[in-house]
Structure 1
Amino acid sequence: MLPKLYHQWIDWVGDGTGLPDTILHIHAGMALLMIARLITRRSFGTFIPWTVVAAGEAFNEIMDRLNYGSWRWDDTLIDVANTMFWPTVICLGVRLRPIIGKRGR
């Protein structure tokens, strides 16, 4: 029951915004990253906010799996990539910034 309600809510968000699933995943990943950063007050470089995004995306994909009855790997892998790409780039960039800065001196 919960997976079906969750999927209906996701469809409602997509229909209401008119945005394709790909863009919604990118926005959701960035929103989760920022919310986690604000709530935890931890730097992006700690990977704590990134972990929240990963957990959120895992929840989303598990709900998809439960709703559809099987994994849809093509869809799942694209969703994970779209959700995690920019949070990963930001976290790595913040984490590596001190290392790159020291080499440039």
Structure 2
Amino acid sequence: MQEYLLYLAERWIGCKIWLIEKVGLTNDAMHIHGSLMILFVSAMVLRRRPDSLWCWFIVFIAELFNEYADLRANAPGEATLDASLHDLYNTMFWPTVILILGRFLFPRKTPERQRVPAASRDLAHQPLEQATTV
């Protein structure tokens, strides 16, 4: 398993270097954009809101793998603990803000918060009376 993770880490570093060169953004900007992309794609796939703890957790796991890859595959300029903590902060800042603010500003509807419709005055909810037979 360790060899497979190291193989994936080396492949990811190669893809990451290629992507940074092609897109032309800094490493920090790529972390921010990547984290938001992973957050919203996971929300669509899981059919959850972006402020879901599951979506946040997927971004966190992806960032942990990215930092593992940076440290194990000796990514240029990224293979230090200080760089990893900096990347972790950059990556998780906006998903954490979305997680916290989304829950306060846009609370989920719970059964007690949903509006209960008022009883009808036309007695439509009562059964019909049986007509008397002659």
With the length of structure 1 as denominator, give the TM-score of the two structures: 0.85
Aligned match of 1:96:
104
Match of 1:41 in 2: 47
Higher relative contact order (CA 8 A, sep 6+): 1
1:44–1:95 contact (8 Å) kept in structure 2: no
How many residues align structurally? 98
4+ residue runs of structure 1 moved beyond 4 angstroms?
Answer: none
Structure 1, unaligned runs of 5 or more: 100-105
90-99 or 24-33, larger mean C-alpha shift? 90-99
1:84 aligns with 2:92: yes
- The superposition leaves residues 54-80 of structure 1 with CA deviations (integer Å, 9 ceiling, x where unpaired) of 0110110111121029x5111101111
Indicate the structure (1 or 2) with the bigger Cα radius of gyration.
2
CA distance in 1, matches of 2:106, 2:86: 31
What code does the residue aligned with 1:48 have? W
Structure 2 length-normalised TM? 0.67
Give the structure with the higher percent helix.
1
Q: What is the aligned-residue RMSD (CA, Å)?
A: 1.7
Aligned-residue offset at 1:6: 1.5
CA apart distance, 1:47: 1.0
Partner of 1:11: 17
For structure 2, the 5+ residue unaligned runs are 1-6, 108-134
Please tell me whether residue 31 in structure 1 is matched to residue 17 in structure 2.
no
Matches of 1:98 and 1:3, distance apart in 2:
38
